[in-house]
Every structure is written in C-alpha cells, then in structure tokens.
C-alpha cells in the first residue's frame, strides 16, 4: 500500500453564541404544560456546571461560569469537519435548545440545522454534557431552559500530498472559566505562547511560527504506515485538542480517530511538543486551548 501523508487542515471558524432571552425560537419552544421552565438568563440561581460548583463567585459570575463552560465544551466537542464530508461551504447555522431539569440532567433536546447529520452531531454533543447542580428559585430546584445557537464557517483549502498545515483559527473565539483556570483562545490572546525559536516578530508572526513548528513536528514523527498496517484505506481523519497551560506545558491531550491505535499515536506525537513560554492575556499567564485536525490518505 502507498501512504500519502497530508495532514490537511480546513479552517473552520466555530462560534457558540451567548443565549439571549430576547431570542425567538418558534420551532424550539421549551414550554412544558406540566411544569414551569425558567430561562437561564432569568433564573434566580443558575444550574452549576461541575467545574463551577466549588468556586466562590457571585451569582452573576456563577451564571457566566456555567454559560462559558457549556459553550467551551460544545465548541471543543462539535465535529465541524462534517461540513467537508457533506460538501457544505460558508456559514452553517444550528439552533439548539435544551432543558436542565430539576435533577440537573439534560433533557428535551431540540435542534434545527441545515443538514440532518449536523442536527445529529449537535444532539450527540449536547447529550455528552455532564450532569449539573440544578437551578433554584426560592431554594427549590427548578427546570431551566438553555438556548445554544452554533455558527461556524467552513472553507476548504487545497493541500498537496506529503504536506501538513495547521491553523489556530479552528479554535473557537471564546473565553472560559474552568475551576481556577482562565482559558483564552490563541486567535484572540494578547500574547500567544512562544514556541522555542519563535520569539521574534509581532504576535501574528509568532503565532504563525508556532503553527509551522507544530505541523513540522507532527509531520516528522507521526507514523502514517500504522494505518496501512491496520488495514485502513482512504482518508483518515484525526482530531486532536490540547492545552498549553500557565507554565507553558502541553496538557489535557485528547484525540478522536477512526482506530484506537491512531488515537494513541496522535496523542503520543502531540505529547512530544516542547515546553513553551505561556500565553499572556491582560498581564497574566493563561491556559490556551489548541485544536489540531490531522488528515491523511492511505492508498493501495
């Protein structure tokens, strides 16, 4: 078999919009005749995402924490590459809504999307959300409605065989509070993490330098022949997500791949990335999430 590595990247700009109480969804009404459902923006005590429960925040900050945690989880889990497989281009708009019930479980998921597979993907991601501490009014648990519009732009970039490219634009433009960590996407951070050898130039130039260094390292070390040995043919798509923490270390490496051994290989290679100077935002070191789709073709 002939393998051609083309860790090809398609920039996909994913935006999770903040739910707005004035937003109208005729087909996605969350009203329930059997019980009162209170909007997330209006409930006295919001449902708490697991990472937010132990924080000593005000009620408004708790609302922000849960909101941002849901958005970040959804944006990091949603497979935007589906748009390529479906031949879709341009902006894709998905309207989702669900209820966090009195026990903190996600129920009554409703989705409107431009394609059935995008609808299924949105439902899949929302079903992965963890159980939360339920919202309350006057000390009593209540069901809370949450609206999550998802918009992303898919645009295909041509790539040549044996080439690798990467773009930080795949990271959602979102900030999130997770425990005692503040995460800032690389596309909006004031001072990007500095990869060794990329300390010269302005912020954009350092970001591009880091992107080139990462793609070069992956191209050099990823064992493409592994896919052929596993009997796989055609396009293999692997999606890796990791974080550059406040110390500049690569952490929380996760991957989704068509075979467990390809997943393990992707994680192995990403863990080879060197220590960097941490990203700085508003004068403080922050955690920076990074997304790295890896595509390659196995041919006979």
Which tens digit of pLDDT belongs to each residue from 153-185? 765 444 444 443 344 444 333 333 333 446 777
What is the pLDDT averaged over residues 130-158?
84
Q: Mind listing the pLDDT tens digit for each residue in 42-69?
A: 999 999 988 777 666 677 778 888 887 8
Per-residue tokens: 241: 């997500």
> Do 55 and 136 belong together in one domain?
yes
Count of domains observed in the chain = 2
Buried b (16+ CB within 10 A) or exposed e, 195-230: beebeeeeeeebbebbbebbbebbbeebebebbeee
User: ∠180-184-188 over CA atoms, to 5°?
Assistant: 160
What is the pLDDT averaged over residues 186-206?
88
Which residue in 41, 273, 53, 58 sits closest to 179, CA to CA?
A: 53
pTM beyond 0.95, yes or no: no
The answer as to whether 246 is a domain residue is: yes
**DSSP-derived 3-state class of residue 285:** strand
Per-residue tokens: 284: 């403080």
The answer as to whether 74 is a domain residue is: yes
> Do 116 and 196 belong together in one domain?
no
pLDDT band at 22 (very low <50, low <70, confident <90, very high): very low
> Do 90 and 41 belong together in one domain?
yes
**DSSP-derived 3-state class of residue 93:** strand
The mean of the pLDDT values for the chain is 78
Which of the listed residues 121, 154, 187 is the one where a domain comes to its end? 154
Q: Mind listing the pLDDT tens digit for each residue in 222-255?
A: 999 999 999 998 888 888 889 999 999 999 898 8
Supply the pLDDT for residue 229: 92
Using the predicted structure, report yes or no on whether residue 3 has a pLDDT greater than 50: no
Are 49 and 65 spatial neighbours (Cβ–Cβ below 8 Å)? Answer: yes
Using the predicted structure, report yes or no on whether residue 214 has a pLDDT greater than 90: yes
> Do 100 and 217 belong together in one domain?
no
> Do 127 and 204 belong together in one domain?
no
> Do 83 and 59 belong together in one domain?
yes
> Do 125 and 186 belong together in one domain?
no
In sequence order, the 6+-apart residues with CB closer than 8 A to the CB of 173 are 13, 15, 185, 187, 188
Token pair 């790295």 in the structure block, residue:
292
Q: Mind listing the pLDDT tens digit for each residue in 270-291?
A: 999 999 999 998 788 888 888 8
The answer as to whether 254 is a domain residue is: yes
Which of the listed residues 105, 122, 154 is the one where a domain comes to its end? 154
Which residue in 167, 171, 146 sits closest to 156, CA to CA?
A: 167
The answer as to whether 189 is a domain residue is: yes
The answer as to whether 82 is a domain residue is: yes
> Do 147 and 219 belong together in one domain?
no
Domain around 34 = 12-154
**DSSP-derived 3-state class of residue 117:** helix
- Number of alpha helices (DSSP H) and beta strands (DSSP E) in the chain: 6, 14
Using the predicted structure, report yes or no on whether residue 101 has a pLDDT greater than 90: yes
Return the higher-pLDDT residue of 186 and 18: 186
Per-residue tokens: 39: 């909007």
């Amino acid at each position: 078999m002939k393998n051609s590595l083309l860790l090809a990247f398609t920039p996909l700009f994913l935006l999770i919009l903040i739910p707005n109480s004035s937003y109208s969804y005729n087909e996605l009404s969350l009203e329930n005749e059997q019980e009162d459902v209170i909007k997330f923006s209006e409930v006295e005590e919001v449902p708490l995402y697991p990472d937010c429960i132990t924080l000593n925040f005000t009620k408004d900050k708790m609302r922000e924490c849960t909101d941002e945690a849901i958005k970040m989880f959804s944006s990091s889990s949603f497979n935007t590459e589906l748009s390529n497989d479906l031949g879709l281009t341009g902006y894709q708009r998905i309207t989702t809504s669900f209820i966090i019930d009195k026990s903190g479980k996600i129920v009554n998921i409703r989705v409107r999307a431009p394609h059935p597979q995008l609808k299924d993907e949105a439902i899949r991601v929302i079903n992965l959300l963890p159980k939360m501490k339920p919202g309350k009014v006057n000390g009593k648990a209540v069901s809370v409605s949450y609206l999550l519009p998802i918009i992303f732009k898919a645009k295909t970039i041509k790539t040549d065989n044996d080439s690798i490219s990467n773009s930080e634009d795949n990271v959602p433009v979102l900030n999130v509070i997770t425990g005692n960590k503040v995460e800032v996407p690389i596309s909006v951070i004031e001072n990007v993490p500095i990869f060794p050898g990329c300390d010269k130039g302005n912020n954009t130039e350092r970001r591009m330098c880091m992107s080139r260094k990462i793609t070069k390292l992956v191209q050099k070390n990823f064992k493409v022949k592994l896919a052929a040995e596993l009997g796989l043919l055609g396009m293999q798509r692997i999606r890796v997500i990791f974080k550059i923490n406040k110390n500049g270390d690569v952490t929380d490496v996760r991957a989704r791949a068509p075979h467990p051994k390809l997943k393990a290989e992707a994680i192995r290679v990403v863990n080879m990335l060197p220590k960097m100077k941490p990203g700085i935002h508003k004068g403080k070191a922050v955690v920076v999430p990074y997304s790295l789709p890896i595509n390659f073709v196995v041919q006979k």
